[in-house]
Amino acid sequence: MDPDTHEELERIAEEIRQCTRCPLHRTRTNAVPGEGGFAKGIMFIGEAPGRNEDLQGKPFVGKAGQLLNELLDSIGLSRDDVYITNIVKCRPPNNRDPAPEEVKACSPFLERQIQVLGPRIIVTLGRHAWKWVCEHFGVPHESISKAHGNIYRTNTLFYGVITVMPMYHPAAAIYNRELLPVLTQDFLRLKEFLKK
Binding residues for ligand URA (CB under 6 A) = 46-50, 53, 59-60, 64, 86, 171
Give the helix/strand (H/E) hosting 122. Answer: strand 121-125
Helix 3-18 and helix 100-117, axial crossing angle in degrees, nearest 10 = 160
132 or 156: whose CB is closer to ligand URA?
132
Residue 57 CB contacts under 8 Å (≥ 6 apart), including other chains: 29, 30, 31, 32
- The least CB distance from residue 170 to ligand URA, in Å, is 8
- The least CB distance from residue 46 to ligand URA, in Å, is 3
Q: Which of 142, 135, 165, 143 is nearest to 152 (CA)?
A: 165
93 or 138: whose CB is closer to ligand URA?
93
CB 123 within 8 A of CB 149: no
- The least CB distance from residue 64 to ligand URA, in Å, is 5
- The least CB distance from residue 101 to ligand URA, in Å, is 19
4 or 119: whose CB is closer to ligand URA?
119
- The least CB distance from residue 142 to ligand URA, in Å, is 20
Q: Which of 55, 63, 45 is nearest to 170 (CA)?
A: 63
47 or 102: whose CB is closer to ligand URA?
47
Strand order from edge to edge, sheet including 121-125: 82-86, 42-46, 121-125, 160-167, 152-156
103 or 171: whose CB is closer to ligand URA?
171
**Total residue length of the chain:** 196
Q: Which residue is nearest to ligand URA (CB)?
A: 46
